[in-house]
């Protein structure tokens, strides 16, 4: 039996009104801003200073011959930063200050890309940049530095509308490499057309019934060494080619008749003796040549195989030495990236060593089988 009075059940909350909230709620939720004189509505806060991102750009500096010795000495002694100052007046023109002297320089584009590496222990190399530009020091600036620098900028290749692409590479062997190495290639359509034309000409020659050709003298066509009374463009037959030259025989007979003081009997005896000696020497030489050719034919396969085995042995020894050296570098690698690189190199060298060793074993077995066959 309950002692509490009967109470009505609780009513459910009223439904939330839809649409815009009432004006009182909107005024209560409104943001109030304080007006100030400096900020004009919002009080200004101090801006956060953003740190500038530093980028490293590498390029090659090519100096004049008169400053090369001192420049190289300072670079080797690591004191070049105290003697060198480079100021760019625009993206292509610069003024180089070296030991108090001013020089005009131009930044040119190289035809090739040079990889730059850095080492800290003289063993491991880490790539740092791809170099594709060179600062070319052109001439020395005399007089007022500001006026001379402005004049040098006006005379620069970019200001004159010239191309700043350098035609040569860094080494002497790369002279004019931009035109020789990077010349435009012949399109495949043109190559296919030439091949089809060649095949068509060969088919026409194969279907021909008779072929006729003429021998021409290039010197006669150029006007040099022409022989009067001879038509060089006339067809030449095989009989004409096989006939001896009559002019040579006439010249030889005239020389023999003019030599009246020569003793004919002595000449005949000498010729007879020399002829017999020549016949004997020719017979001996023929026999020696035949024997030498037979020996060469027999020894040629063996010599070639021996040479191949020698080269394979040298390559195997060199690969073993390289793998041993790379394993030592792997043990001293400082991080996982370099260790992974050395492991890939060692695996590639090991595969090549296995192939060379297998090839050397095959040559050795073939040589042993040949020796066994010859003895039997």
Task: State the pLDDT at residue 130.
Answer: 93
On whether the CB atoms of residues 149 and 95 are closer than 8 A, the answer is yes
Task: State the pLDDT at residue 145.
Answer: 61
Task: State the pLDDT at residue 149.
Answer: 59
> Tokens 């070639």 belong to which residue?
304
What DSSP character marks residue 243? Answer: S
Tell whether the torsion through CA atoms of 233, 238, 239 and 240 is positive or negative: positive
> Tokens 């359509």 belong to which residue?
189
Strand residue runs (E) in the chain = 60-62, 84-88, 93-98, 101-118, 126-141
Task: State the pLDDT at residue 195.
Answer: 92
Give the three-class secondary structure for 89. coil
Task: State the pLDDT at residue 135.
Answer: 93
Task: State the pLDDT at residue 290.
Answer: 55
Tell how far CA 198 is from the center of its chain: 32
pLDDT digits (tens, 9 = 90+) for 303-350: 777 788 888 888 888 889 899 888 888 888 877 888 888 888 999 899
Task: State the pLDDT at residue 109.
Answer: 92
Question: From edge to edge, which strands make up the β-sheet containing 126-141?
Answer: 60-62, 126-141, 101-118, 93-98, 84-88
Task: State the pLDDT at residue 295.
Answer: 54
Which residue ranges of the chain lie beneath pLDDT 70?
1-9, 13-51, 143-163, 220-302, 375-376
pLDDT digits (tens, 9 = 90+) for 92-144: 888 899 988 899 899 999 998 999 999 988 888 999 999 999 999 988 888 66
Task: State the pLDDT at residue 340.
Answer: 85
DSSP for 110-161 reads EEEEEEEEE-SSSS--EEEEEEEEEEEEEEEE-S-HHHHHHHHHHTSTTTTT
> Tokens 């930044």 belong to which residue?
107
């Amino acid at each position: 039996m309950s002692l509490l009075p009967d109470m009505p059940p609780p009513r459910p909350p009223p439904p939330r009104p839809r649409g815009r909230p009432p004006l009182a709620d909107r005024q209560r939720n409104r943001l109030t801003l304080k007006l100030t004189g400096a900020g004009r509505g919002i009080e200004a806060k101090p801006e956060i200073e953003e740190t500038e991102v530093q980028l490293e750009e590498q390029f090659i500096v090519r100096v004049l011959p008169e400053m090369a010795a001192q420049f190289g000495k300072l670079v080797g002694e690591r004191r070049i930063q105290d003697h060198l100052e480079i100021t760019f007046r625009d993206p292509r023109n610069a003024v180089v200050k070296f030991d108090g002297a001013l020089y005009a320089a131009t930044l040119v584009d190289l035809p090739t890309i040079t990889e730059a590496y850095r080492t800290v222990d003289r063993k491991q190399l880490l790539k740092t940049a791809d170099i594709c530009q060179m600062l070319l020091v052109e001439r020395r600036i005399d007089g007022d530095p500001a006026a001379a620098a402005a004049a040098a900028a006006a005379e620069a290749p970019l200001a004159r509308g010239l191309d700043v692409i350098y035609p040569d590479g860094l080494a002497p062997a790369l002279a004019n490499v931009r035109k020789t190495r990077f010349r435009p290639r012949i399109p495949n359509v043109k190559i296919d057309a030439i091949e089809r034309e060649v095949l068509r000409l060969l088919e026409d020659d194969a279907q021909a019934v008779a072929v006729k050709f003429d021998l021409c003298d290039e010197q006669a066509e150029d006007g040099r060494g022409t022989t009067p009374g001879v038509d060089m463009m006339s067809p030449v037959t095989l009989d004409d080619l096989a006939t001896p030259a009559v002019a040579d025989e006439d010249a030889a007979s005239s020389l023999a008749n003019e030599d009246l003081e020569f003793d004919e009997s002595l000449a005949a005896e000498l010729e007879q003796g020399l002829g017999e000696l020549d016949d004997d020497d020719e017979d001996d030489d023929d026999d020696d040549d035949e024997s030498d050719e037979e020996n060469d034919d027999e020894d040629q396969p063996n010599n070639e195989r021996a040479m191949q085995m020698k080269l394979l042995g040298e390559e195997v020894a060199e690969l073993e030495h390289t793998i041993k050296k790379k394993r030592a570098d792997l043990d001293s690698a400082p991080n996982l990236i370099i260790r992974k690189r050395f492991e890939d190199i060692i695996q590639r060298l090991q595969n090549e060593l296995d192939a060379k060793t297998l090839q050397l074993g095959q040559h050795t077995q073939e040589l042993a089988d040949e020796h066994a066959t010859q003895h039997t």
